[in-house]
Structure 1
Amino acid sequence: MEEKKIVSVSLFSGAGGLDVASFLAGVPVVSSTDFDSDCIKTLKMNELFENSEVIEGDLHQIESSVFSDILRKRDYDKFIVIGGAPCQPFSKAGYWVGNNTRKGINDPRATLVDEYLRVVCDLHPDGFVFENVESLLHPTNRVIVDRFIEIITEQGYKYKIVRANALDYGVSQKRKRLFILGTLGEFQSDEPRKTHCAPEECERTGLLPYVNVGEVIAGYDGPEYYEPEEETKGGTYYSDLCEVPPGMNYKALTAWYGYENPKFVADKRFWSFLLKLSPDMPSWTITAQPGPWVGPFHWDNRRLRVPEIAAIQTFPKGYKFYGSRRSVQKQIGNAVPALMGKAMIEFVKESLQK
């Protein structure tokens, strides 16, 4: 049976994490869109998008017909919509500041989920991939998921809700995300295909062991990759950072850990304070807006370099980013790890081949 040609329309494309995933899954992206001008410039800087129509604009202001017109010019058998509405209203990190100061579902950005659904309902694609933070399932936000499911079911879609960890798909990063996957076809299996697992489970499962971060960022530690922004020397907590063993955080300097003259009190700081990578373990989540002493830091007691955080997010080597260091960190930190997204898109693609 000849494989059907499937293409994708990308919404909330950002720096292109899910778009790269789509290309990796053999589903060319015909259109990418974002409201952030730096993200748009990032996409246009990369050859991967030379045949994609890259649109800068707020999705609230972009008619669905814009995407219909683009699709009409392309040769394909079926198409899917991919994207994740900006997730800050639902981020687990938001719970740190307490429910009273979080806007949650009352945040105007939550309406971007409606815009995603609007495009899906108008275009009626053969399938879709929707990504967001896992805490979208928290009782505070659950109404959004329930309404999402109600709408896509009315549109005739079968769906899967997948709580995924990037580690299981070859990403060297502990990063949990929620995916809602939809198809007008038939899912061929219960869940997207995992490729990696904990080392002690490999013999039983036949999967590969989790990828350690030392393997992923090897080669970027030379002076040619130096960035002034990586410097921590002379900073408030530099000497403390140097004392934290690889794979630990500030709690290594507390009585809880048996530190002789405790400098901090366990559980009184955010867990990523002075968090340091170990080359022999996967990374923790790469964030979009880390504070000055928020990790993960390199085991050499410096901040991570752009090509390192891009590699941890499984962007292709040599992928270009436009903007200030702060902007680039935000773009990469907000992205869907490409290998994780690839597994999700392949799962939907498989359901459309018959």
Structure 2
Amino acid sequence: MQEHPEWFTTLPDGTIAYAENPPKKYQDIYPLNFDNDYEGISREILRIVRLWIDRGVTIFRVDNPHTKPVHFWEWLLEDVRQDHPEVVFLAEAFTKPAMMQSLAQVGFQQSYTYFTWRNEKWELEEYLREVSDETSAWFRPNFFVNTHDILTPYLQYGGVPAYKVRAAIAATASPTWGVYSGYELIENVARPGSEENINNEKYEFKPRDWAAEEAAGASIAPYLTQLNRIRSQHPALRQLRNLRVHGSDDDAILVFSKYLDGRHTRSGRSDALIVVANTDPHSARETTVHLDLTALGLPPGSRFLVRDLITQATWTWTDDNYVRLDAFVEPAHILSVDFNRTP
């Protein structure tokens, strides 16, 4: 600030303006003004990024990149990629779709998404189709279930079922997903008048006794561990474009699958999972699920065994199947298709 005051926006009274991303104001941040010295600021940012890379940092979460020139990011990301293709830049850009897509197209390897606000079955179906198909050539979604800034009404009032089903969908629908600290402990009290956690880490140091909370049964950390174990064991979940949305007769039961042919797995065995999720955290739902078996590498009319990777229960399924999901017991099935056993 002392050496390069021209890099910042100065107000008529001589003070430096603080950052704004309406409706939010960041009074602890001075925003850069590229208009006064584009080349100088660009070179300095690249120097700082390379400094951190030299110290072992390989992932950069970029806050509000949409408030900076898009062509600047295109230049910076390409320059870094030439020498460090392993470095990942995550665009934390909760903004209009066109800008989010543009940032992905100029080189951001991952992007925050609207998943955080998609809660109803119909809007989840629509969004899953979008990210797995329409924009999948350039947009790499990172499904965050919440952030330090976001505590949606769905989580505020949905209790443990809401937290579990959001995690189950995020962990299986996207190759990458994110959980902000405290989610495991169902921290769901909002600051009055806002959609963010009260007393969160923007305002105070927040120690947590993870072991005591888990011992008291107040933590879903074991559930998240189970989800990550399932992800590590099933290569189909590491793909994006193989997601297929299926139907159900209930307006709260979301159904989708992931299938990966054995030609593309290390084991040589095909991998298929079916996710059935009750998106209403306040109910038990019964319905019929309708599957397009060709999306699972099976001919229509096939009968096959599925195993719930959460409860270990097994069933024989076909094109149309009865399900009952009690949100207060388990809000989601994550079903592995057994290609080796016939019912």
The two structures have a TM-score, normalised by structure 2, of 0.29
Greater fraction of residues in helix: 1
The two structures have a TM-score, normalised by structure 1, of 0.28
Q: Larger Cα Rg: Structure 1 or Structure 2? A: 2
